[in-house]
Amino acid sequence: MKHSLATFAALALSVGIGAGCRVTGDAPVTPAAPDACAAALAPGSPHDEEIARLQREARDGRHARAALDRLGYRYVARARVSNDPGDYTLANTTADCLDARYPGEASTLLLRGHVLHQLHRFREAEQVARRLIAKRTFVLDLGLLGDALMEQGRLAEAAAAYQKMIDLKPFYQSYTRAAHVRWLRGDLDGAIEMIRLAIQTASPRTPESSAWAWTRLAHYELQAGRIRAAGDAAARALTFQPDYAAALLAQGRIFLAGGQPSQALDVLRRAARLNPLPEYQWVRADPLRLQYL
C-alpha cells in the first residue's frame, strides 16, 4: 500500500465504510444516499479520458451497470498510480451508487471488498470474500480472500486460496499472487517464473497491471544479483506508467546496487515526491548518506 495509516483512518471515516455500509457477517449492504451517483459521476480530471468515458456510459443507461462497475475499479487503479486516497473514496461511492440502482449485486460487494483491502481493513475484506465464496465460484473472490489472509499473516490459508484460484483460471491475477507466495517461501526462481507468466497475460488495456508486474520482476532480479536484468525490468515498467512511484523506487535501488548513488538520488527524490511513505524516504536516505562517507 502507498498511504499512511493515519491517512487511511481519516479516509475510512470520510467514506463511511465502517458505519453506513456494513459488510461484516451476513449483514446486508446499506443502500446508498441519493447523491451517491451524482458524486461518482461528477466530472473530474479532464486528463483521465477512461474515467470520463465510463461516466458517460453510466449516464446514458444502455450499459450503465457494467460501466459503473468498471468505473469503481478504475478509481482503485488510479489510486494505485497517483497515490491519492480520494480515489478510494470515489470507488466506494461508486459502489454506493451501484447498490442504490442495482441492490444485492455480488459484483458490488466484491468492489467494496477491494476498497476495504486497499484501506487496510483486512478482516472486513476477508468477511466480504467469504460471503461471496459461500454464494458462488468466482476466481476473483478467491483472490480477495487470499489477499486479505496474506495481509493478516495467514500465509498457508492464503496460499490455499491462491491455489484454488490458479486451478480455476491461470491468468494475470493468479500468476502475480503465485509469484508472491513463492517469493515469500524463498523460491526466487519460481517467483520469477510466475511473474513472467503474469507479464505475458497482462491486458494491454490495464497498463498499471503491466507496470506492477514488471516492477516486481525488477525486485526479484535485483535480489538474484542480476543488476542489468533488474534495470531493464524497471525501465520497462516505466514505459507503461512513466510516473509509477514503485518502479522509480526499484530503479533507485538498482542504481544504488550498481554503484551509481547520484543517479539513484535523482530517481528516489522523484519517487518520494510521488509517494511520501516512510519506505521511500528510507531508501532516499541511502544515497544522501553515501555523499558524506
Q: Same domain for 104 and 22? A: yes
Contact 30, 108 (CB under 8 A): no
Contact 258, 231 (CB under 8 A): yes
Q: Same domain for 168 and 249? A: no
Unique residue bearing C-alpha cell 458505519: 19
Percent of the chain past pLDDT 90, that is, above it, reads 73
> Can you tell me the mean pLDDT for 129-158?
97
Q: Could you give the CA distance from residue 48 to residue 254 in angstroms, rounded to a whole number?
A: 31
Q: Which domain holds residue 119?
A: 1-132
Domain end marker among 151, 173, 198? 198
In total, how many domains does the chain have? 3
Question: How buried is 203 (Cβ within 10 angstroms: 0-12 exposed, 13-18 middle, 19+ buried)?
Answer: exposed
Tens digits of per-residue pLDDT, 63-77?
Answer: 899 999 999 999 998
> Can you tell me the mean pLDDT for 84-109?
93
Q: Same domain for 207 and 81? A: no
Q: Same domain for 126 and 8? A: yes
Give the long-range contacts of residues 74-77, CB within 8 A, separation 24 or more: 74/50, 75/51, 76/114, 76/115, 76/118, 77/206, 77/208
Task: Copy the grid coordinates of residue 265.
Answer: 538520488
> Can you tell me the mean pLDDT for 1-10?
32
Domain end marker among 102, 132, 162? 132
Q: Same domain for 223 and 193? A: no
Domain end marker among 166, 198, 230? 198
Q: Same domain for 14 and 116? A: yes
> Can you tell me the mean pLDDT for 157-163?
97
DSSP state of 155: H
